[in-house]
Amino acid sequence: MKISVVIPTYNRAEIVSRAIKSVQDQTLQPFEIIVIDDGSSDDTRRITKEQFSHCRYYYQENQGVSSARNLGIQKAESEWIAFLDSDDEWKPNKLVSQLSFLKNNKVCHSNEIWKRNGKTIPQNKSHQKFGGLIFEQCLNKCIISPSTVVAHKNIFYDVGLFDESIKICEDYEMWLRITAKYKVGFNPEELIIKYGGHGDQLSNVQEGIEYYHIQALEKLLNKKILIGSKFTMTKKMLIEKLKIYLHGLKKRERMEQVLKYKEKIIFWKNFNE
């Protein structure tokens, strides 16, 4: 089984080598490692080319992580694609441990370890991972980490590439499209390490995560690719998130936005398949 590893990165010269080395140290070696430099202005190019000359390195003007992942998918020469964010790290048995889950699934993911300031952070129940037909479990929040995913390339020809117009929570939107059509393999092993505390991570976004979840759910419903219970569940979740966001707007006395989101709730309540 040939696997292409896609590593998008942007101005993370000080840590990208850790990610690449964790792929090099795999007990099952991938067919290729593709590094997509999304417009870095630091030493990412030099470090990658000098220390990891065997990697396929591509540079593009800064367009966001979705664009970088999409370029990696398009450049990949293998039938299977694994993603690794440049601030994460794989355990040495990551790829070999996921092989058996790919026999009957076109996509799989695993558990993970979270670390911040050198300490392991316990995950609460809301971040529990699942396998199988998990569309409903993916609606509330993103429970699939990109760095845990191995997927067949044909999936992206079927459901489409990452939506480059969604700058944050782009993975949340992608997993909803995938889980709406495919069952997902789940390996309960903790196969990656996620490091927190970077200034560009989701916990630091000004608008709050729900703002971007709303965008993703609206796009999904507008595409009219959901039917039956999946449509009903998605619409219900969107209205719930709109109400939560509206409550926050009222507390901050952003009255113009309050009116806008009240109208959104009315619109989506009347929206049908």
What pLDDT sits at residue 196? 83
Q: Is the pLDDT of residue 164 over 90?
A: yes
For residue 14 the two structure tokens come to 């000080």
Does residue 219 share a domain with residue 139?
no
Q: How many residues does the chain have?
A: 273
Q: Is the pLDDT of residue 104 over 80?
A: yes
What pLDDT sits at residue 273? 79
What pLDDT sits at residue 179? 98
Does residue 66 share a domain with residue 156?
yes
Confidence of residue 117 (pLDDT cuts 50, 70, 90): confident
* CATH number for 103: 3.90.550.10
Any idea what DSSP says for residue 123? P
What pLDDT sits at residue 123? 83
Q: How many domains does the chain have?
A: 2
Does residue 53 share a domain with residue 161?
yes
What pLDDT sits at residue 118? 84
Out of 181, 201, 221, pick the residue that ends a domain.
201
Domain span holding position 185: 3-201
Mean pLDDT of all residues in 191-220: 80
Mean pLDDT of all residues in 86-108: 97
Does residue 166 share a domain with residue 116?
yes
Does residue 78 share a domain with residue 148?
yes
Distance (Å, whole) CA 82 – CA 91: 14
Does residue 262 share a domain with residue 183?
no
What pLDDT sits at residue 13? 95
Listed in order, strand segments (DSSP E) in the chain are 3-9, 32-38, 56-60, 80-83, 88-90, 107-116, 119-121, 150-152, 185-195
pLDDT digits (tens, 9 = 90+) for 227-239: 999 999 999 999 9
What pLDDT sits at residue 51? 95
Q: State the chain's mean pLDDT as an integer.
A: 94
pLDDT digits (tens, 9 = 90+) for 54-78: 999 999 999 999 999 999 999 999 9
